[in-house]
Chains A and B, each alone.
Chain A
């Protein structure tokens, strides 16, 4: 049995990393907004989904114009990523301005329900527009990077099976890593990042230190949503087919990743995302083997959430979170 698990390990690692990178960046959006407003922005999963649709729509337009074949794929992707992230960034900022800012001093629950409302709104809006233009709300984008690359894992350890990777995997992982490093630098080393951390800790005091709190919160939404939208594009490129409901379960898992890493903690969210992605792929590949076919691959979600529950029982603050002790 162990042998069988090891057989699939290289493929599991590769698939898990790609999925984990997606979770990680979406988790960043949740954790940043939570850190600064203590709001679980349920609409964030939908921003991700909107990003995937906007990106795919641009790609489809490009291929309609015949640009896809004439331009190097990587340049096309970078263009699409930039346009999409600016658009979804503005969308996130707009949502904050219209729906959350007026409720900033309202009880947390009210903002939470507003976020859920926004999330339905975005789902249906995207579905409506897609059906109007496309006749069908399930969308398949052009394939940008579809070269299959074989990895001869068996030459490392004979027990491994060979794995195969779509070339988009490297793109997804590369872009994800660049985004995470940039964000980490931004938050930890620049004046705006510092203002963001100050606002997260004490909004009023930050205002008294000349920080424009509304601007910082808007900026947080812009960055979180831009990253989320860009990740949507990466998701569409990696997995091909998208529908308006991908944001829901993916958002939920990314949120789980944020909690797992310690909500409010940016590095924790990155780590939590990768971990959930790996666990999920591991479970999908191995649950049928370990349970002799009783539990199918579709139980992978149960597995991922079970891990979350176990971690939270023993470490309620998350893996990287800090224990908060109320001083009296």
Chain B
């Protein structure tokens, strides 16, 4: 059963076509990778799925329901969370609070009861703190909970972005280059984390990644974009031997020599 369906998705910025007629079906519970050379339109694609950009045309369905036209916070409430290529944490607040921001929608204290600090709100805030701490434990950052996020090492910041995204209780998690800038040890930890999340948290994961070792190891389905168009999709093995993909990455000449 597909949880996310994308139909004829197109995004134009003036004369530039960033995404053109992309179709995609993402199986529930799968790990899908979106790959392609720089400038292929991968992040634009993520931005449309999360409501940051409105598509020029086409449709995005989450569990059969269109999410085109929704604002980013509404899309996230429907169950799509993401991390960012260039880390975008709230740098000046603590690690724990970063995760708690992600819980915003799941705390039910309305404005009125928050202002008057009614007991049920206080109880809920306390629960939220515990839950946030549990999420930090899950990604292995619990010892840093009281640090300001900007003081964290790079790899830890990437993990914190994942914890914060998990706090929104997503059904689909979009990871934009989660392994960028990580050393091999961190990358293998991350690989394990992505697997575990899928297994334990009942998540569907879509990732953009340039680390081909990670992509081939982890994903069941790969979609390849080039110049805003989908040029191939399939299993890792199919993609590895796809002529068009090799051309896109290495150029026609190289592809000819390779075969």
Contact = CB atoms under 8 A, between A and B. Distances in A.
A205 B84 contact: yes
Contacts of B117: 185, 190
B97 A208 contact: no
Number of chain A interface residues as a range:
20 to 34
A3 interface: no
Given A186-B115, A197-B90, A208 B121 contact: no
A144 interface: no
Contacts, number: 86
Contacts of A211: 73, 101, 104-105
A1 interface: no
Given A191-B128, A201-B91, A210 B73 contact: yes
A201 B114 contact: no
Contact of B109 (A190, A207, A208): A190
Interface in B32-77: 50, 52, 71-73, 76-77
B256 interface: no
B52 A208 contact: yes
Given A213-B73, A219-B111, A208 B82 contact: yes
A191 B100 contact: yes
A190 to B, nearest CB: 5
Contact of B73 (A192, A207, A219): A207
Interface in B101-116: 101-105, 107, 109, 111, 114-115
Contacts of B103: 191
Contacts of B167: 209
B167 to A, nearest CB: 8
Interface in A183-221: 185-186, 189-192, 194-195, 197-198, 201-202, 204-213, 219
B67 to A, nearest CB: 13
A111 B114 CA distance: 31
B212 interface: no
Given A197-B93, A201-B91, A192 B114 contact: yes
A192 B109 CA distance: 9
B90 A201 contact: yes
Given A198-B101, A211-B101, A204 B52 contact: yes
A201 B150 CA distance: 12
Given A190-B125, A191-B104, A219-B111, A208 B81 contact: yes
A261 B104 CA distance: 29
Contact of B105 (A185, A192, A210): A210
A204 B72 contact: yes
B90 A208 contact: no
A108 interface: no
B177 to A, nearest CB: 16
A205 B90 CA distance: 8
A210 B93 contact: no
Nearest to B167: A209
A210 B92 contact: no
Given A186-B114, A211-B105, A212-B71, 14 more contacts: A190-B114, A191-B128, A192-B109, A197-B90, A197-B92, A201-B92, A202-B90, A204-B72, A206-B101, A208-B72, A209-B164, A209-B167, A210-B104, A211-B104
27 contacts: A186-B114, A190-B109, A190-B121, A191-B107, A191-B125, A192-B109, A192-B111, A192-B114, A194-B93, A194-B97, A194-B100, A195-B101, A195-B104, A197-B90, A204-B88, A205-B84, A206-B90, A207-B72, A208-B73, A209-B73, A209-B76, A209-B104, A209-B168, A211-B73, A211-B101, A211-B104, A212-B73
Interface of B: 50, 52, 71-73, 76-77, 81-82, 84, 88-93, 97, 100-105, 107, 109, 111, 114-115, 117, 121, 125, 128, 164-165, 167-168
